[in-house]
Amino acid sequence: MAEQSSAASARLDLLNIDQTLTDDERAIRDATRQLMDKAVRPHVADWYEAGALPARELALQCGETGLLGMHLEGYGCAGTSAVAYGLACIELEAADSGIRSLVSVQGSLAMFPIWKYGSEEQKQQYLPGMASGEIVGCFGLTESDAGSDPSSMRTRARRDGESFVLDGGKMWITNGTIADIAVVWAKLTEEDGSEQIRGFIVPTSTPGFTAREVTHKLSLRASATGELTFDSVRLGRESLLPDAVGLKGPLSCLTQARTGILFGALGAARDCLEVALDYVATRTVFGSPLASFQLTQAKLADMTTAFTGAYLMALHIGRATDAGTVTPTMVSMGKLNSTRTAIEIARTCRTLLGANGISGEYPILRHANNLESVLTYEGTAEVHQLVLGRALTGLSAFG
């Protein structure tokens, strides 16, 4: 199965893009693919159907392979390039978007804010354990009434002597029910009444913190998604991230995570294409292989061209990240393009499999359903359109 997938991947690479990757990049890609072939692919359809996955065990395995916070330097992190991180995300998401989400949230949304905005003590305390997967983190920004517009959040923190007291709640929090720590963004009220969005590292064992699993999901089922509630959660001074002040703190974390997503979504698309290519070669309709019909070949040609264009854009953004020249607008374009391209490919591949396309025996509808979440989180497609529209016209149409 693994060999078959690799052969199909090579068949899709009509522009020989693989040759432009470095040996290190290919080695990280291959190690991630091997882990997925061994630890995830044989089980993920069942996890998806059950709506549960052994996330803690997977975190340890990902940590052992060096995937957690891999693009960060020091504190037990692998310190790879952004492109290598992106290639790993492709392999993770080719298995399932839920597994890639587990790794993205840990590395880019929970570890990155500590790495970037934390004190030296916070970094020492948390990052090595998070890199190994022993400590799992989550990122709480969205609330039930504040998603695309996080500045309207209601969660509040106030100073009380040497402590902070946190009240409010967060919704749709990946890893929320399995995490040891939550990086929570709240409006901190100062004594003069002014408010600033600040980040807090909240141990999930703190009294007043509760996490409830979000149920009835029809997408990203192989992922823990939580609703967090903070009821007078008392935190020490050491919980505040000292260097993140204002909305730019959480937004910079999202830009990091989107780099993983704009690669990762293409992994789901690639897996659909590989499965569809194998399927049309063996499925006979009207006396001939499905692959021999012009309509089939047109779909395959269009999908592979769209996939290749999106992959090149992702690589360009990854290389710009490594060169230090990336901008949030570039990342928005990549996130918008990759997720839209991937979901269209998944839906078209679904048609090629006919009734089998809707079966959990094949991964295609699972990927398509997962991509609905990927299209929505980390800035919806519409929000990224508005970011690009603002860059093009100089006019903000956000509201």
- Residues sharing a CB contact under 8 Å with residue 211, sequence separation 6 or more, in sequence order: 173, 176, 177, 179, 204, 226, 227, 228, 229
- 105 counts as binding ligand FAD under rule CB under 6 A: yes
Q: Which run of H or E residues covers position 312?
A: helix 294-323
Q: What angle do CA 110, 327, 393 make, to 5 degrees?
A: 125
Residue 380 near ligand FAD by CB under 6 A? yes
Smallest distance, ligand FAD to C-beta of residue 220, A: 4
Q: How far is the CB of 399 from ligand FAD (least distance, A)?
A: 5
- Indicate which single residue of 125, 132, 148, 229 sits in contact with ligand FAD (rule: CB under 6 A): 148
Q: How far is the CB of 148 from ligand FAD (least distance, A)?
A: 3
383 CB-contact burial (10 Å; exposed 0-12 / middle 13-18 / buried 19+): middle
Catalytic residue among 121, 372, 378, 382: 378
Segment 199 to 228, residues that bind ligand FAD, using CB under 6 A: 220, 225
* Choice between 84 and 153, CB closer to ligand FAD: 153
What single-letter amino acid sits at 64?
E
Among candidates 397, 379, 259, which has minimal Cα distance to 330?
Answer: 259
Residue 75 binds to ligand FAD (criterion: CB under 6 A): no
d(CA 2, CA 5): 5
141 belongs to the binding site for ligand FAD (CB under 6 A): yes
In eight-state DSSP terms, residue 190 is P
| Piece of 60-68, 235-243, 305-313, 379-387 that binds ligand FAD (CB under 6 A) | 379-387
| Cβ 119 vs Cβ 113: under 8 Å | no
| Binding footprint of ligand FAD, residue count (CB under 6 A) | 22
139 is an interface residue for ligand FAD by CB under 6 A: yes
Count CB atoms within 10 A of the CB of residue 98. Answer: 27
Amino acid at position 253, single letter: C
User: What are the CA-CA distances from residue 369 to residues 75, 346, 354 (Å)?
Assistant: 36, 9, 17
Nearer to ligand FAD, 141 or 235 (CB): 141
* Cβ neighbours of residue 192 closer than 8 Å, sequence gap 6 or more: none
- Nearest to ligand FAD of 94, 141 (CB atom): 141
| Window contacting ligand FAD (CB under 6 A); options: 55-63, 121-129, 299-307, 370-378 | 370-378
Q: Is 378 a catalytic residue?
A: yes
Instruction: Between 47 and 307, name the residue whose CB sits nearer to ligand FAD.
Output: 47
Residues 12-71 that bind ligand FAD (CB under 6 A): none
Which of 75, 164, 172, 263: binder of ligand FAD (CB under 6 A)?
172
Binding interface with ligand FAD (CB under 6 A): 105, 139-142, 147-148, 172-174, 220, 225, 373, 376-378, 380, 382-383, 386, 398-399
Catalytic residues: 378
